[in-house]
Amino acid sequence: MRDMAENFELLRNVTIGQYIPTGSVIHRLDPRAKLIALTLIIVAFTITLSPWITLALVGLVFGIARLARIPFAYLARGLLPILPFLFIIFVLQIIFRGLGDVQGRVIFEWWFLRITENSWPLATVGILRVIAFLSLASLLTLTTTTTHLTHGIESLLSPLRLIGFPAHEIALVFAIAFRFVPTLIEELDRVARAQASRLGNIGATTRWRLDKTLRARLPLIVPLFLSALRRGEELILAMEARCYVSGAGRTRFWHFTPTTLDYAVVIGAFALVAVVWWLGSRVG
């Protein structure tokens, strides 16, 4: 029964794909400015190996969440499902990077555990990056409606139309995906409760018995796929009934005009990359 309860809890910890209208300044930004800034913040994370700079960037991400009036606890909940995985990766890195670093100064040594001046920063940076990337992805959907996000992606990809890239269609694919995530989570929750009420052991996971785990999870996974495909068929019918034609020139209900703040955010994000680059070359 504990497994089942954990399963239901897990389904509630999904923050990606949700939207919380707090009316903050982050919510009001042009979606294109948000997408460009998000990409540049990710670039800033990937060009530094310093744990201190990475920690400062994580602080910046949570600062943005505060500015967006998204509760920290809510954002942190989205990280829960991946935490055990992150912990394993972190422990592996701490152990092996320490053992392999024969030249670095040893900070802590006990039995096979050896933490050196070079091992802990790399392990820490790796984990902090994952936490930041997931939080940024959640923040984007928490502060931007699916419609705005779609128009933002389409607008940014539109130059690629010159080489025949289907910018509108790809943006629509991701809009449909983001729109369906909460629906499918609800569906999964319903199926899990239905299975549990019939004494199906849906949460059973046995590390040494793949067949048992598979038998426990198939009653969730197969209905998830079938429900998605069935809803997809309904959407195809609805779109075709409204004469949707891919690639046809169409007008928009929403028009975005960048404000001074949007430009400032993009310039600030470029400046951030430059500063991280400059600091990285000094701190190492």
Partner 1 sequence: MQLSTRTIVTAGVLIAVALVLAITGLGYFPVPNVTDSATIMHVPSIVGGVLEGPVVGLIIGIVFAIDAYIRFGGLFAGAPAYLPFVILLAPRLFIGIVAALVYRALKSKNEIVALIVAAAAGTLTNTVLVLGLAVLFWNQIPFFASVPGLTPAVFVSGAIPQAVFEIILAIVVTVAVVAAWRRLETRRGSSV
Query: In this structure, what token pair is assigned to residue 139?
Result: 């923040």
Among 244, 254, 263, 277, binds partner 1 (CB under 8 A): 244
Among 213, 270, 273, 279, binds partner 1 (CB under 8 A): 213
Residue 10 contacts partner 1 per CB under 8 A = yes
Closest contact distance (angstroms) between CB of 261 and partner 1 is 29
Q: Name beta bridge partners: 114.
A: 109
- Residue 110 phi, psi (nearest 5): -155, 120
Closest contact distance (angstroms) between CB of 28 and partner 1 is 26
In the region spanning residues 54 to 93, those forming contacts with partner 1, defined by CB under 8 A, are 78, 81-82, 85, 88-89, 92-93
Amino acid (1-letter code) at residue 72: F
- Scanning the chain, the segments in alpha helix (DSSP H) are 2-12, 25-28, 31-46, 51-67, 72-77, 83-100, 119-143, 146-157, 167-197, 210-241, 260-283
Range 159-166, long-range pairs (CB < 8 A, 24+ positions): 166/246, 166/247
**What does DSSP assign to residue 113?**
E
Taking contact as CB under 8 A, which single stretch among the options 20-28, 63-71, 161-169, 259-267 is the one that binds partner 1? 161-169
Among 5, 25, 47, 107, binds partner 1 (CB under 8 A): 47
Question: Can you tell me the distance from the alpha carbon of 118 to that of 225, in angstroms, rounded to the nearest whole number?
Answer: 45
Among 58, 67, 157, 239, binds partner 1 (CB under 8 A): 239
Nearer to partner 1, 24 or 182 (CB): 182
Among 208, 249, 255, 282, binds partner 1 (CB under 8 A): 208
In the region spanning residues 97 to 116, those forming contacts with partner 1, defined by CB under 8 A, are 97-101
Query: Total residues contacting partner 1 (rule CB under 8 A)?
Result: 77
